[in-house]
Amino acid sequence: MTLPESLFQDLRYGARMLSGNLGFTAVAVLALALGIGVNTAVVTAYKAMIVRPLEARDPGRMVNLALIHQSS
């Protein structure tokens, strides 16, 4: 048996098993969709907020100033 035949047979078997238990299939598909959606949102937010390039003429010469308030 060749690889494409074996793969096709395995896919048919998997589809037959999933169609027999529709509740499990629905929960599995929803869990995968939710996981993929959350992962996409987190990566997009990370790239937009953290990895974005600095909008400056010479970003290598920029400094970060902060005020520190010390109570006595």
Instruction: Give pLDDT tens digits for 5-22.
Output: 999 999 999 889 988 889
Q: Which of 43, 33, 61 is nearest to 25 (CA)?
A: 33
Banded model confidence at residue 72, pLDDT cuts 50, 70, 90: low
DSSP conformation class of 57: S
Please check the confidence at residue 58 and state whether its pLDDT lies above 80: yes
Residue with tokens 């010390």: 70
